Amino acid sequence: MERQEYFLNRHTVRSYSDAAISDDILARMIEAASHAPNTGNMQWYSVIVTKDAGQKKRLAPAHFNQPTVESAAAVLTFCIDLSRFEKWCRASDAEPGFENFQSFIAAMIDTSLFAQQFCTVAEMNGYGTCYLGTTTYNAPQIAEVLKLPHRVVPVTTVTVGIPANDMQEGGTWRLPVEAIMHSEAYTEPSEAQIKEWYAPLEHDSQHFVDENDKSSLAQVFTDVRYPRASAEYFSQVYHNLLKENGF
């Protein structure tokens, strides 16, 4: 498969076989992922690998008990890690000044790049992966289970394993490139154009509209999946954790 076709056809895998992944293979894939770009080569990130069945069971409630957590060969929690770098600074007679929003953003971006490069490496080696957006919802519980020290904060989680079924050709729907690519400056699309871009998703997702008794797919997103009240609540939970960690 050509590289471009790989990216166009890749998709999330939530169901895995019982096959294990050795520590050596995981270490090699994480080493490759760690070569993703990062700010100033400070590498403000760590990843906690969870393979033990009991530990996965303890993590599952924080991810709303999604089956992929306990069925995966490994659960990888990618974290901002200022602890290691700041200790190195102080051990080298340098006083770090990273207790601020700018440092948080840099660390968040770098941790996300690290996580995405891991997914690419894993998938190119025949494994399936799934991002869990629930990490920032229940970060305090995850931090407790994983015994994260001060200045180490969960950002995202990736489950990985051998797919339960053969990897199917054909990627997930995405907006057409003209919807996301702008030349020289941002071009405001018309409402009609936007509706046209989202029409395939609406067509394929009509069952979600019906089962939730809504009149549009957009209402499923705003009223059911990602309602304002929930977003505001979990925003406050994560914000409190960040404050506790000096950001």
Q: Catalogue all structural domains in the chain, each as residue range(s) with its CATH number.
A: 3-169 (3.40.109.10)
pTM of the predicted protein model: 0.93
pLDDT digits (tens, 9 = 90+) for 187-232: 999 999 999 999 999 999 999 999 999 999 999 999 999 999 999 9
CA distance 70 to 196: 39
pLDDT digits (tens, 9 = 90+) for 166-189: 655 556 889 999 999 999 999 999
Q: Which of 51, 9, 28 has the alpha carbon at shortest distance from 122?
A: 28
pLDDT digits (tens, 9 = 90+) for 39-72: 999 999 999 999 999 999 999 999 999 999 999 9
CA distance 153 to 144: 11
Please tell me the predicted confidence (pLDDT) of residue 178.
Answer: 96
Mean pLDDT score of the chain: 94
Please tell me the predicted confidence (pLDDT) of residue 175.
Answer: 95
Angle at which helix 23-33 crosses helix 101-124, to 10 degrees, equals: 130
Whether residue 1 has pLDDT greater than 70: no
pLDDT digits (tens, 9 = 90+) for 145-157: 999 999 999 999 9
Residue of 6 and 105 predicted with greater confidence: 105
pLDDT digits (tens, 9 = 90+) for 129-138: 999 999 999 9
Please tell me the predicted confidence (pLDDT) of residue 189.
Answer: 96
Please tell me the predicted confidence (pLDDT) of residue 141.
Answer: 98
Burial 26-52 (b: 16+ CB within 10 A, else e): beebbebbeebebeeebbbbbbbbbbe
Q: Which of 58, 56, 78 has the alpha carbon at shortest distance from 69?
A: 56
Please tell me the predicted confidence (pLDDT) of residue 11.
Answer: 84
The mean pLDDT of 80-98, rounded to a whole number, is: 98
